[in-house]
Structure 1
């Protein structure tokens, strides 16, 4: 079963992500600051991979005038996002599906946190280009996901297993189900989609994050 369709696995998501991703809450705070540098007070933000609602809640708590369109393929994860948002739920419109199911915008900013590694290379390229198409000129796009130098893959997966306190076989299984690219490949995808001034802002063991501008 897809873990994002399993109600029990989904219920554990809000604990697992902060535990397994180094500096998880700081990464979300940095993302908020990077968006706020460029957007207006009443910004409309596209949040891709919004299931769970953790980043939506962080953004909403910090920026009371922002509104959001959240997109996620999992109905169970979107239900969790609705619960996580609580009193902020009225400021977010949630869409089940993929980038093609997102409104055309144009949006003031976009994020895709801990999601792109689930997509194949071709899907990632298309998704990134479709996000760019939905943004206003100069709008920031922030991404974070698994990213490992390819010649150091085994050692970094071992470190991830140690940090997340999981068996190395579990880390290998995760690796086999994800598309984990090199930093150079990740940056190239953003630039090829039309984003400029692509900059690394976050690195935590096997995770990296970039900001680029439409």
Structure 2
């Protein structure tokens, strides 16, 4: 999306994310805890769509022995990740690209947070399959993004609630409503049931919901 290359949008990314995603810092904490169930103290973790660096910083802070790789297509967001990581940056490898650009080595765990809702169903399936191919057997994958019912009335009702949440965080109500409607119309969102089906189709096992906040859902599944 163009906002990930707009310098002004990138500069406000972290602030806007807190306004847009309920308990986003807690989401990163929960993702790290789910990974830690199976990732060893010196394990290797892949974070796809990690531009901005917020989850990478949370993982690095809590797990000093982890070797982290962040992949993102936006050079501006990768630059932001370096700034976000600060003194932790030398512990994290960053690659510009998509899942196919990640190394063909086996990771102990992976995340894809606030990313898959930008992809079509076929693109998501390809991404999930490529993530599984890069994970050790039984390794966890943690995903979270917009996921709403297919029924148009239900879908719009949830995005109106999302707009109310954003407005409650200081964004003008008209702007919040307009942005939520744009997201509802432009993003190729899938229902929670379809998300689970895709994980299974990609070869993951035991997908479990761990995060639900208005239009957002998060699952952990295992390679």
TM-score by length of 1: 0.98
Aligned length: 214
Q: Does 1:162 align with 2:171?
A: no
- Cα deviation for residue 104 of structure 1 reads 1.1
In the alignment, structure 1 residue 201 sits paired with structure 2 residue 203? no
* Partners of 1:168 and 1:18 in 2: CA distance: 17
State the Cα distance separating 1:171 from its structure 2 match.
1.1
Q: Counterpart of 1:14?
A: 14
Structure 2: how far apart are the matches of 1:12 and 1:69?
A: 24
1:56 is aligned to 56
Once the two structures are superposed, what CA deviation does each residue of 1:1-34 show, in whole Å capped at 9, x if it has no partner?
8010111100100111122111211111111110
SS state of the match for residue 141, structure 1?
Answer: strand
Give the SS at the match of 1:103: coil
Aligned to 1:114: 114
Counterpart position of 1:123:
123
1:103 paired residue number: 103
Q: CA deviation at 1:174?
A: 1.8
What is residue 43 of structure 1 aligned with on the other side?
43
Deviations 1:166-209 (A, max 9, x none): 43222111222311110000011111111101100000110000
| Pair 1:184-2:193 in alignment | yes
Q: For the residues of structure 2 that align with 1:81 and 1:146, how far apart are their CA atoms?
A: 22
2:98 maps to 1:89: no
Partners of 1:149 and 1:136 in 2: CA distance: 32
Q: Which 4+ residue blocks in structure 1 deviate beyond 4 angstroms?
A: none
Q: Separation in 1 of the partners of 2:103 and 2:55?
A: 19
Partner Cα distance (1:124, 1:144) in 2: 13
CA–CA distance in 1 between the matches of 2:208 and 2:123?
Answer: 22
For residue 183 of structure 2, the aligned residue among 171, 174, 190 is 174
User: After superposition, what is the alpha-carbon deviation per residue over 1:110-141, rounded to whole angstroms, capped at 9, x for unaligned?
Assistant: 00000000111111110000000000000000
Report the Cα distance in structure 2 between the residues aligned to 1:190 and 1:18, rounded to whole angstroms: 27
Paired residues for 1:139-150 under 5 Å = 139-150=139-150
CA distance in 2, matches of 1:177, 1:96: 25
Structure 1, gaps ≥5 residues long: none
Instruction: Work out whether residues 156 and 184 of structure 2, in 8 Å CA contact, stay in contact via their aligned partners in 1.
Output: no
